[in-house]
Amino acid sequence: MLKKYNIEIDFLPDKVNSEKLVIDLCKEIKNLKNELEEIKNKMKNMEEKNKNEIKELKKIIEPINEEYKNKKKSTILKENEFDIIKSAIKYRMNKDVKKLKKLYQATVDGESSSNFHSKCDGIPNTITFIKSAGKRRFGGFNSQCWDCSSQYKDDINCFLFSLDKQKIYPIKNDKKAIACNSNYGPVFGSPNDIQIGNNPISEKKLYTNESYLNCSFNYYGDNNALSEDGKGNYIYTLEYEVFQVIF
């Protein structure tokens, strides 16, 4: 009451049902708790659902990733076999090999010469890996590009190799190091030390002629380095792959 003005002011309602107010508040708190609990359960269910979905996605993605990794790798080159080839490339190119990029695999991309050229033409610094039915694993490196020009190309950096023997076979003369032709896959040398024909797997058109058999060949070699018997005949090809060298 403000005595000065003789006025009486009531700041509170006439009646306050405190008991009802407490009961109502308790109900509201309980409802809020229930809502929170419901939200928690929904979140938990969502987390569980997400976990299951992630598991299912992993089941799908992991094999694809594995397949992708395998596609990038060589099916011919074994672990630690690349060191001697890498050293030979560095010696000739004076560059460190950073990695290999897979361009072509006959059994995956199609074995015909047109498949090879569509994947590999116009790309310098490539390695060809070959695997024969006689379990020979060999190939060649060239810094020049493959194409369909029907021309020989000079390449002083070119060399052949045997993965089985872990040997490098240098070029004797950089003239006619590789041959480019639309009817053939990779061809090294003239006469041809390695000649991969059209459809080499199904038609057995891989020709290797040992360098030691004829002094006019372009690469040095040794006994049975490449072919099964050293007689330079057509042999059965299981697989061949081409990679680009990234410096």
Residue at 61: amino acid letter: I
Residue with tokens 């950096």: 157
Q: Is the pLDDT of residue 105 over 70?
A: yes
Residue 236's pLDDT band (cuts 50, 70, 90): confident
Amino acid (1-letter code) at residue 84: I
- Give me Rg for the CA atoms of the chain: 37
The one-letter amino acid code at 216 reads S
Helix (H) or strand (E) holding 56: helix 18-72
The CA-atom distances, in angstroms, between 150 and each of 18, 23, 155, 179 are 103, 97, 16, 7
The whole-angstrom separation of Cα 220 and Cα 211 is 5
| Tokens representing residue 35 in the block | 């809502």
Identify residue 109 by its one-letter amino acid code: D
What's the mean per-residue pLDDT of the chain?
82
Inform me whether the pLDDT recorded for 193 exceeds 70.
yes
Peptide bond into 200 cis (omega under 30): no
Q: Counting Cβ atoms within 10 Å, is residue 33 exposed (0-12), middle (13-18) or buried (19+)? A: exposed
Domain boundaries, the chain: 16-72, 83-246
| Confidence band, pLDDT 50/70/90 cuts, at residue 5 | very low
Query: Could you read off the pLDDT of 116-173 as tens digits, one per residue?
Result: 999 999 999 999 999 988 788 999 999 999 999 999 999 999 999 999 889 999 988 8
Helical H segments across the chain, by residue range: 18-72, 83-93, 106-109, 113-120
Q: Kindly state the tokens that stand for 4.
A: 């000065």
User: Counting every residue, how long is the chain?
Assistant: 247
pLDDT band of 232, cuts 50, 70, 90: low
Q: Is the pLDDT of residue 29 over 80?
A: yes
Q: Show Cβ contacts of residue 116 under 8 Å, excluding neighbours closer than 6 positions.
A: 104, 106, 146, 185, 186, 196, 242
Report the Cα 161 to chain-centroid distance in Å: 23
pLDDT confidence band for 21 (50 / 70 / 90): confident
Share of the chain above pLDDT 70, in %: 80
Question: pTM surpassing 0.75?
Answer: no
Q: What is the pLDDT of residue 247?
A: 95
Helices (H), 94-245: 106-109, 113-120
pLDDT band, very low/low/confident/very high, at 24 (cuts 50, 70, 90): confident
Range 104-114 average pLDDT? 95
Mean pLDDT of 203-217: 65
**Which of the two residues, 7 and 173, has the higher pLDDT score?**
173
